[in-house]
Amino acid sequence: MKRRAFITLVAGAAVSWPLAARGQQLAKLPTIGLLGATTPAVMSQWVAAFVQRLRELGWVEGRTIAIDYRWTEGSNDRAAEMAAELVRLKVDVIVTSGTPIVLAAKRATADLPIVFAAAADPVGSGLVASLARPGANVTGLSVQSPDLVGKRLEFCREVVPGLQRLAVMASVDNSIAMLEMGEVQALAGKLGLDVGTFEIRRPEDFALAFETLKSRAQALYVVSDPFMVANRIRIHTLAMSVRMPTMHNFREFVEVGGLMSYGTSFPDLWRRAGDYVDKILRGAKPADLPVEQPTKFDLVINLITAKALGLTIPPMLLARADEVIE
């Protein structure tokens, strides 16, 4: 062999060997399959809180742990496909949120641990056997969103003077969202409010719904789920076109112009999901990790939107807000 060819061969081996070694090292890292219920833009704060908590617990992405990201963009069909893909990749644990997305993951595997950072009514929806003893491969944190309906209605009445007619909008393909819609109807009825309901199946349904509700309602309660979050800008644009005050579950709606939101702090839930993952990677079984309840709730008000709608937010309510967008 010529000397130049030999040197080239050795140099090539010197370059390729560390790359191969790094690939083998990365392959040995514990891997989290993160199944995002919406998009990276929506979930950036949530995922950042999760990754930060893992770091605090000694799990550093790219060094002591790998994270394989998948984004469903609010589609249940995509969730099923991506959950099955993560199972084929044999990740060590799947982390996700949103009851339909968690159900898709659960249908994909009965063996891999699944941690839900947020799910409404995990017992009623069949995610776990009980809150204290989940009993299978799934555990996590409950949102308790329907339990907050009364507070949201209270805030609506404070902000919209003489509120008598309320509209409620929800995704018909989400059983939990439909349960919350029923709760809104029941509680609003007890408050003497007339309630109109709008069931959304696809993005094209929003325009017709807003055209219909503009003459029937003084305010709109949007039941949030991954599908609604994915369409939050569309919802805000149509709401402003008919000058409709909106109440939401998630702050992400208010950040793009919705009037106000009250609900569980999702960054806090995702941070706490990191604790579940830590325990599972250290040998704990999901069946033995009780489902925990939310402890932090946020009221967010968009003053820019309030002014555009000609609404005055009561000073006492502003004082209670966790965040005011000006």
For residue range 10-49, list pLDDT tens digits in order: 344 333 334 333 444 445 799 999 999 989 988 999 999 9
Mean pLDDT of the chain, nearest integer = 90
169, 220 contact by CB (below 8 A): yes
Q: What pLDDT, on the 0 to 100 scale, is given for residue 117?
A: 97
Q: Are residues 27 and 50 in the same domain?
A: yes
Residue 225's contacts (CB-CB under 8 Å, 6 or more residues apart) are 74, 98, 99, 100, 170, 171, 174, 176, 177
4 falls within a domain: no
Q: Are residues 34 and 119 in the same domain?
A: yes
2 falls within a domain: no
Q: For the chain, how big is the Rg over CA atoms in Å?
A: 23
Q: Are residues 208 and 314 in the same domain?
A: yes
List pLDDT tens digits, range 276-303: 999 999 999 999 999 999 999 999 999 9
191 falls within a domain: yes
122 falls within a domain: yes
* Class of residue 255 by CB neighbours under 10 A (exposed 0-12, middle 13-18, buried 19+): middle
Helix ranges restricted to H, the chain: 3-27, 40-56, 76-88, 99-108, 149-159, 175-190, 205-213, 226-230, 232-241, 251-255, 266-281, 303-308, 315-320
Q: What pLDDT, on the 0 to 100 scale, is given for residue 207?
A: 95
Torsion angle in degrees (nearest 10) through CA of 133, 137, 143, 146: -80
* Residue-level length of the chain: 326
Q: Above 60 in pLDDT, residue 150?
A: yes
Residue 69's contacts (CB-CB under 8 Å, 6 or more residues apart) are 34, 36, 40
Q: Are residues 312 and 186 in the same domain?
A: yes
Element (H, E) at 261: strand 260-264
Q: Above 60 in pLDDT, residue 2?
A: no
Q: Are residues 256 and 284 in the same domain?
A: no
Q: What is the mean pLDDT of residues 169-173?
A: 94
Q: What pLDDT, on the 0 to 100 scale, is given for residue 48?
A: 97
Q: Above 90 in pLDDT, residue 201?
A: yes
Q: What pLDDT, on the 0 to 100 scale, is given for residue 259?
A: 98
Q: Are residues 124 and 172 in the same domain?
A: no
Cα 204 to chain centroid, rounded: 22
The CATH number linked to 93 is 3.40.50.2300
Q: Are residues 316 and 190 in the same domain?
A: yes
Q: Are residues 276 and 129 in the same domain?
A: yes
**Higher model confidence: residue 146 or residue 300?**
300
70 falls within a domain: yes
State how many domains the chain has: 2
Domain containing 23 equals: 9-142+266-295
Q: What is the mean pLDDT of residues 172-181?
A: 91
Count of Cβ atoms closer than 10 Å to residue 294 Cβ? 20
Q: Above 60 in pLDDT, residue 314?
A: yes
Q: Are residues 81 and 175 in the same domain?
A: no
Q: Are residues 319 and 187 in the same domain?
A: yes
Q: Are residues 111 and 211 in the same domain?
A: no
Q: Are residues 311 and 179 in the same domain?
A: yes
